[in-house]
Amino acid sequence: MPTIDPFERHTDRYDRWFESHRAAFESELAAVRSLLPGDESVSAVEIGVGSGQFAAPLDVDLGVDPSPAMLARARDRGIVPVRGVAEALPLRADSVAVALLVTTVCFVDDLDAALAEARRVLRPDGRLVIGFVDRDSRLGEQYQEKQSSNPFYRDATFLGVGELRDALLAAGFGDLTFAQTLFTDPTELDGTDRVESGWGNGSFVVVAATPS
């Protein structure tokens, strides 16, 4: 079971980050949106939905999370809340067209199990979209330096792009596509950052994959 205490105790602090880093948040949203299917009517779930900060503007109606406090916030944002963990999703097989994980993979207890579950609940023609801070980027290095003093990231396991790519391939995903943003320190942005394909330069990376 993932550690949920920081998210239960510091829910307001979690939400304030999005308010005080609006330009960075909008850049991350744009990067995730760039790899989502264009049809907003498809069934989608965000795994590790948190307070619904990403799911709501991305029109993802269903959210799974282990934290009751976060799910309550997500419900307030119009998300259907389901309590559960990424490694044992309370969803039927082949039931969703899109599975979304944003800033979640660093918190799962078992990455391989989480990816296997995502593949199980996805339809054969579905798409998995993962957004995360690259461990090897400048921002990723900053997060690691301050990890012990941050209540959210204290128990996180940051991933590099290559590590996640290998895990996706091992889990039976293929057709990997990458996008990146946050080429500038989030605190220095005076407007939304650009989104480019690939990875290696931006701190925030999004990868889309399909069951193979």
Q: What is the 3-state secondary structure (H, E, C) of 12-79?
A: HHHHHHHHHCHHHHHHHHHHHHCCCCCCCCCCEEEECCCCCCCCCCCCCCEEEECCHHHHHHHHHCCC
The single-letter code of the amino acid at 188 is E
129: left (phi over 0), alpha (psi -120 to 50) or beta: beta
The contacts of residue 130 (CB under 8 Å, 6+ apart) are 100, 101, 102, 104, 105, 164, 206, 207, 208, 209
The single-letter code of the amino acid at 119 is R
Percent of the chain residues past pLDDT 70, beyond the cut = 98
134: left (phi over 0), alpha (psi -120 to 50) or beta: beta
Q: Which CATH number is associated with domain 5-211?
A: 3.40.50.150
Domain locations along the chain: 5-211
CA distance 205 to 82: 26
Per-residue pLDDT, 122? 98
pTM of the predicted model over 0.75 = yes
Tokens for 176? 């990997």
Q: For 27-74, write each residue's pLDDT tens digit.
A: 999 999 999 998 766 899 999 999 999 999 999 999 999 999 999 999
pLDDT higher than threshold 60 for residue 1 = no
pLDDT higher than threshold 90 for residue 86 = yes
The single-letter code of the amino acid at 56 is A
What is the separation, in whole angstroms, between the first and last Cα of the chain? 29
